[in-house]
Amino acid sequence: MRSALLICLAFWLIIDLAPTGAAGAPVAVAVPTGGLTDWGHTPFYAQTGWAGAHRDGRNSDFVPFVVPAANQVAWTALDGLAILPAPVLGPEGQLYAVSGGGPGTRHLHAFDRAGNLLWQSEPELSPADLDSLAALSSPTLDRQGNIYLGDGNQFWSFAPDGTVRWVADLPEAGVPMASSIITPQGLVGGITLNGKVVLFDRADGSLAGPVLDLPGGPGQPATGLPPGLWAGGLMDPAIIPMVHDVLFGFGFEVINTPAAHPQSGRLYITATGATPAEGVLYGLSLVGGALAIDFAAPMGGGSGTSPAVSFDGARVYAADGLGVMRAFDAATGAEIWAAGGAGLATSPTVGPDETVYTGSDELLALDPTTGAVLWGQAFDDLAADFLPALPPDTPYVATGLPVGRPDGVVTASADRVLVVVVLGYDLVLPPNGATMLWPGLTGLAAVDPEDGALQGFTLLQDTNEGVISADPDGSVALGHAAVLSSIVYYGLNPILPPELQLPGPPAGGFSVLAPASQRAQAAEGAGWARELAVSAESALPDGDLAAAFTAVRRGRVQLEATARTIPVAVAQGELDPATAAAARYRVRQGYIGLLQARAVLAQPAPSLPALLWADARLQGAIAALDAALALLAP
């Protein structure tokens, strides 16, 4: 069988690898990198597990490594504060989180991976300090580990040790950005809530070009704050109205994080159109330092969700204010398909096979080319496992049956999909019959990307309403925005019957989860890398060097993480030192094999001997990982 493979490979190389030009000279066959590194980031981003609001410049919310189905809460921090964005992960090993406690408090916090506080920004004592509206903006990290973050008036850059590198004014005082991005050209910045597109030089904060003012108008006015929202010190009372309007899509032109096309450099953002009933997806170009609108594609009303760019760069996805997910041609803005059932405040997630994930009442997986529903996963049965059915005449309860609902943005990984789920009951509230979800319990669900089957569920201390960040070592971090829990505890508890009163105040803060078994995590990572090596080797006879290149890149990143996970399994008593040393050696052999194959596949036109050598390296990597899996098996 091996000889047949080599004959097939050699035949393909002779026929297809060296096409000729008009004069019969060989023409190079290049493997496209997609403008991305092995980590899946554009080169200016920090090469780390989660470097920005939606992980990368494309807003994919995809991590190219395995995450565990079985987790346990390792530690929490900033309890008592509503944490909206997920913590981001620095290349030096630090976690960065933002809060909005108000004047006199600090709003940017750095922790090590064990949960120890390393440093914080200076307290807010004057308008010149980092203010509480920093709570809206996820930090963005560059390759040097520098941190970029906006507040209500300014845009900041911090060094990894907390030193302020520079501060720049935003176009309008009191009008922040929802979040920031690093462009493929290496500039940093974003779009303010009033639609001002502003980019800065990362070195000194100087304005990189003229500010572009998008032509839309403000969104639909808010009808009023829900009672009790972020009371009890969870958030600075002065900013609660603005933060509420941003989270729920009221009153502003732009409330989302822009996405960038890694090849063309085009920026995409959703926004309110000329009226609140209109929505727009803008495509923006950056030429010679000047921004221009390439297209304005119509969407349903409101400012919609953050857009996401597909892996192949052909499509841009975004949901509008009507819960319709749309796919657009990334080059022209033409609509390709539309599908209902999307989350109103949750941006699309792009899985490794281009599957698009979203969800409102249930988690949906959509076909990337047609928008057809591949599967839907409801969580009502999960809720029934934890909560009793209530009598249907219980005050304010619609049916008394437990329900489970997705609560935030989905994270896709190499092997499963993560989503926070709230388990509770549907409330119907006076005087106008408004409905909301009563949050009895909240947990992190891990589901199978093939069919949505539940694989694991870990209880959390509070609701999420945000993003889940993940690290190659299998740890997961997420903020607790405490939207539902604060409304019920501070606003509704006095009118609810005893069985529906939340027993204690919202916890807030953020949680970091670790694999329940580090040995199992190491084995799963080695197994995934082996699958990637097999798929790379299988792609060679078909002439699909691009697929082989993608596989070895992802496998290399995975094995880096697996090599770090094995010593943790020793420290936790799951592996003896001798077995761990032997397993780590085999993982290292697999890593070297993939790295060597990668070097060949990255060449413009690999020769036949080079590809045969790469095939041998892949065989060696597979054998080494087989040996590692035998050692890591429980």
Q: What pLDDT band is residue 246 in, cutting at 50, 70 and 90?
A: very high
Q: Report the run of H or E that residue 8 belongs to, with start and end.
A: helix 2-12
Q: What is the pLDDT of residue 31?
A: 52
Q: What is the pLDDT of residue 604?
A: 86
CB 512 within 8 A of CB 115: yes
Residue range 437-465: mean pLDDT, rounded: 97
Q: Could you give the angle at the alpha carbon of 466 between the alpha carbons of 179 and 196, nearest 5°?
A: 20
**Spatial distance between the Cα atoms of 522 and 529, rounded to a whole number of angstroms:** 11
pLDDT tens digits along 496-528: 999 999 999 999 999 999 999 999 999 999 999
CB 486 within 8 A of CB 506: yes
Maximum distance among all Cα pairs of the chain, rounded to whole angstroms:
86
pLDDT tens digits along 36-74: 899 999 999 999 999 999 999 999 999 999 999 999 999
**Spatial distance between the Cα atoms of 474 and 458, rounded to a whole number of angstroms:** 14
The contacts of residue 119 (CB under 8 Å, 6+ apart) are 109, 110, 161, 162
Q: What pLDDT band is residue 431 in, cutting at 50, 70 and 90?
A: confident
More confident of the two residues 453 and 220: 453
The amino acid that residue 593 corresponds to is G
pLDDT at 102 over 80: yes
Query: What is residue 406's DSSP assignment?
Result: E
pLDDT at 540 over 60: yes
Query: What is residue 348's DSSP assignment?
Result: -
Residue range 266-286: mean pLDDT, rounded: 95
CB 414 within 8 A of CB 63: yes
pLDDT tens digits along 304-326: 999 999 999 999 999 998 899 99
pLDDT tens digits along 586-627: 999 999 999 999 999 999 889 989 999 999 999 999 999 999
**Spatial distance between the Cα atoms of 285 and 267, rounded to a whole number of angstroms:** 6
Residue range 17-42: mean pLDDT, rounded: 54
Please state, in angstroms and as integers, the Cα–Cα distance from residue 16 to each residue in 232, 244, 545, 606, following that order: 68, 58, 12, 12
Please state, in angstroms and as integers, the Cα–Cα distance from residue 138 to each residue in 50, 88, 134, 150, 165, following that order: 11, 8, 8, 9, 18
- Could you give the angle at which helices 545-571 and 577-601 cross, rounded to 10 degrees? 160
pLDDT at 22 over 70: no
CA-based Rg of the chain, rounded to a whole angstrom?
25
Q: What pLDDT band is residue 122 in, cutting at 50, 70 and 90?
A: very high
Q: What pLDDT band is residue 28 in, cutting at 50, 70 and 90?
A: very low
pLDDT tens digits along 144-181: 999 999 999 999 999 999 999 999 999 999 999 989 99
For residue 510 the two structure tokens come to: 């953020």
Q: What pLDDT band is residue 21 in, cutting at 50, 70 and 90?
A: very low
pLDDT at 17 over 70: no
pLDDT at 29 over 50: no
For the chain, give the number of residues: 634
Q: Residue with structure tokens 């089957």?
A: 453
Beta strand spans in 185-321 (E): 188-192, 196-200, 212-213, 259-260, 267-272, 279-287, 290-299, 308-309, 315-319
**Spatial distance between the Cα atoms of 610 and 616, rounded to a whole number of angstroms:** 10
Residue range 200-214: mean pLDDT, rounded: 96
Calculate the dihedral angle through the C-alpha atoms of 286, 289, 291, 294, rounding to the nearest 10 degrees. -30
Residue range 121-131: mean pLDDT, rounded: 96
Phi-psi category of 40—alpha, beta or left, where left has phi over 0 and alpha has psi -120 to 50?
left
Which residue from 561, 397, 442, 431 is spatially nearest to 67, judged by alpha carbons? Answer: 561
Q: What is the pLDDT of residue 357?
A: 97
Which residue from 131, 257, 140 is spatially nearest to 187, judged by alpha carbons? Answer: 140
Q: What is the pLDDT of residue 147?
A: 98
Q: What is the pLDDT of residue 344?
A: 75
**Spatial distance between the Cα atoms of 241 and 222, rounded to a whole number of angstroms:** 9
Q: Is 155 helix (H, G, I), strand (E, B) or coil?
A: strand
CB 536 within 8 A of CB 548: yes
More confident of the two residues 611 and 19: 611
Q: Could you give the angle at the alpha carbon of 166 between the alpha carbons of 115 and 132, nearest 5°?
A: 55
**Spatial distance between the Cα atoms of 8 and 2, rounded to a whole number of angstroms:** 10
The contacts of residue 203 (CB under 8 Å, 6+ apart) are none
Q: What pLDDT band is residue 14 in, cutting at 50, 70 and 90?
A: very low
pLDDT at 363 over 50: yes
Taking the model in full, what pTM does it have? 0.92
Q: What pLDDT band is residue 35 in, cutting at 50, 70 and 90?
A: confident
Q: What pLDDT band is residue 219 in, cutting at 50, 70 and 90?
A: confident
**What average pLDDT is seen over the chain?**
92
